[in-house]
Structures are given as structure tokens and as C-alpha cells.
Amino acid sequence: MHDQNSQSPAKVNNELDVGTDFSRFYLLRNPLGAQGYASPWLVLFKTFVDPFLVVAVLYGLGVYFDISLHGPFIELAVVAFLTSALALDGLNVLLPGTGKRMRGIDGMLLNWGIAVVVILGFGMLTGLLDLFPERFIYSWLILVPLVLLMVHSALAVFLVGRADAQQKFRKAVIVGANKCGQMLANKIRENPQIKMEFLGYFDDRTLDRLPESELEYVKGRLSDLPAFIKEQGVQQVYISLPMTSQPRIMNLLEELQDCTASIYFLPDLLVFDLIQARIDHVNGVPVISICESPFVGSNAIVKRISDIVLSLLILALIWPVLLTVALMVKFTSPGPILFKQNRYGEDGESIRVYKFRS
């Protein structure tokens, strides 16, 4: 008999807590996850509709207040779209099947509040807001979260809710009752909106070496899996074996090659610090990033815009403090006010950093 993991149940449960913490962080970055397959309309909504709603409300109020929809108005619309696209990314309000009817509203208000601060700061710094009536600006800032809430509610009831009600639960099993497998099983059981039914584990370890809390879900050994898939109509198999078990994984895949279930590999990557982890590919070859520069693709553009906007806003607020510090440095000691130092930035390029001399 091959061993998957020689850890005791207590140690496994302790590590499961760590894995769960990681999963919570990852779900904040990708809150839909498998629900993207269960509710494709929600994915479309998440990606495109929110920033367009923000701009649509802006245009509607522009027409109502008889404001010219050219020049400065276009600038404000662009700033609003980019800021809301960043702030409202991954927003989920009133998800069907969660049992939490108010879920996500506090996050929506918080994210929109952040967007408001950035938009107002940019507008005041550039003088853009001075070109519009205050009633127009305040009406827009107040009306946007109400419109978002109504549209999210309509989506949950009429689109996602009805589609979910008609969709059957997909039966899933997990090969390996280790920390990663337990984490995935818990997520399936806790989130009915992803439309998955967890049937149990398959593990070659003896019962005394398995987590006590999961014993009732153990359905058999790996050799019992093919027959179980055919008998129960299993649609998804998640392999949660450590990377050192490659021979067993290959043997299992060979035994399952005639079944119609979808097979996924759940790599044991929680041993690494995966704050920046994501799945990518190089010309079709899948890779998993352990540590990656955040300045990739559209993130680079959004990051650059936010850097400029936020830095100008902060400088506009703290310039009296900076001026005071500069004068104190100048009159209290000889030498230049600023200290120059070379640092390394993106792609290892040398950049010059300026600091007050101490």
C-alpha cells in the first residue's frame, strides 16, 4: 500500500485551517470560481455590466440636467468607467442559493465608496468637477449604488435564479482526503450555488490515518473508483494526491480513461506562499505562477492610471507638509535637501528614488 501522507489527524486538521485561510484569500480575488460554470450569466455580468451601469447612470443624469455630453463630460465618463471597473471587479450581490439575501451589499457600498473618493479627488485636483452642477454630481454618486442593487437583484431573480433552478447538481468525488481535498470538499458543501454534490473521498490509506471528521465520507480505495463512477453517475473527479504520487496518478488516469467524467488535478501547492498565484499558459502549455509581477496585461494600464491619479491626489493634500520638511532640512543642516538613491524596479531596471535627507 502506498502512503499519501504520514501526518496524524490532528496535524492534518491544523493544516486544513491554513489551507482554508488561503482559500478565503483566493476567493476574494476570484469570488466566482466554479460558479462561473454553474451561472455563466453571472460571469458576463461581473465582467462587463457594472462599469457600464455606472456610465449609463451618468449619461442619464446628464440628459436630465441638460448637460452637454461632449468634452469634459466624456473625460468624466472615462474616469468613472476605469475607476468603477477596478473597484467593482468581482462584485457579487444577492447570489442565488446562498441563503444570505443581503450578501455583498456591504462590499458594494465599500467598493463604490473607494471609487467615489478617487473620482472626487481626481475631479477636484484637475478642476473637472467645477464644470458640472453639484446636484448632478451628488445625484449620480447616490443613484449608482441603488441602480447596481436593483440590477443585481433582477439578475439574481430572473436570470441566474431561474437558470440555476433548472440545472441539476453535478456529482463530484475527491481522490485523496488530504488537506487540499478536505478544503475543496468543504467549499463544495458550503456553496450550493456552484451546483455540485460531494459524494465522498477515495483514499488508499487505512482509516486510522485519515482525518476523523471525514471518515463518514470515505467511499473506498482508488481501485474502487471506476465502478463507483459508473454506478453513481459521477460527473467530476478531483485528484488531490501529492506530487510525489505520480505513478499512482498515472495508473488512476489509465483506469478512468473509459469513463465520461471530467477529471481535474488539485495540486498540493498550499506548501508555497501563493498570494500572487494564478493559472496561465505559454502558447498552450499550462503553467502555475508562484510569484508574478502584477503589471501584466490590462492590470498594467489600470495600475499606471491609478498610480498617477492617487499620487497627484496625495501630493495635493500633503504638499504643505512636504514644503515644511524641505525647509527644515535646508535650514538645520548643510547639503542638499533631497537624497538620491538607485533602486530596482520592473524587469530589474534601475530607477532613481528621491528622499528627504536625514
% of the chain surpassing 90 pLDDT? 15
Per-residue model confidence as pLDDT tens digits over 47-61: 678 888 999 999 999
Q: Using the predicted structure, report yes or no on whether residue 32 has a pLDDT greater than 60.
A: no
User: What is the pLDDT confidence band of residue 35, given thresholds at 50, 70 and 90?
Assistant: very low
Per-residue model confidence as pLDDT tens digits over 309-343: 888 888 888 888 889 888 888 888 888 888 888 88
Q: How many CB atoms lie within 10 A of CB 154?
A: 12
Q: Using the predicted structure, report yes or no on whether residue 214 has a pLDDT greater than 80.
A: yes
Per-residue model confidence as pLDDT tens digits over 218-266: 999 998 999 999 899 898 999 888 767 778 888 888 888 888 888 888 8
DSSP 68-128: --STHHHHHHHHHHHHHHHHTTT---S-TTSS-TTTTHHHHHHHHHHHHHHHHHHHHHHT-
The mean per-residue pLDDT over the stretch 109-127 comes to: 87
Of the two residues 105 and 37, the one the predictor is more confident about is: 105
- Residue spans per domain, the chain: 9-30+168-273, 38-166, 298-356
Class of domain 9-30+168-273 (CATH, top level): alpha beta
Sequence-ordered list of residues with C-beta below 8 angstroms from that of 353, at least 6 positions apart, any chain: 340, 341, 342, 343
User: What is the pLDDT confidence band of residue 295, given thresholds at 50, 70 and 90?
Assistant: low
What gap in Å lies between CA 255 and CA 271, rounded to an integer? Answer: 29
% of the chain surpassing 70 pLDDT? 68
Cell of residue 175, nine digits? 481522490
What residue type is 329 in one-letter code? Answer: V
Residue in 147, 87, 86 with CA at minimum distance from that of residue 112: 87
DSSP 173-216: EEE--SHHHHHHHHHHHH-GGG-EEEEEEE--S-GGGS-GGGGG
User: What is the pLDDT confidence band of residue 143, given thresholds at 50, 70 and 90?
Assistant: very high
> How much is the pLDDT for 86?
79
Q: Mean pLDDT check: name the lowest of 2-6, 27-31, 68-72, 327-331.
A: 27-31
What gap in Å lies between CA 101 and CA 115, rounded to an integer? Answer: 24
Mean pLDDT, the chain, whole residue set: 75
Phi then psi for residue 195, to 5 deg, are: 55, 50
Q: Are 236 and 262 in contact (CB under 8 A)?
A: yes
DSSP state at residue 32: S
Of the two residues 200 and 287, the one the predictor is more confident about is: 200
SS3 category, 287 = strand
The mean per-residue pLDDT over the stretch 192-199 comes to: 81
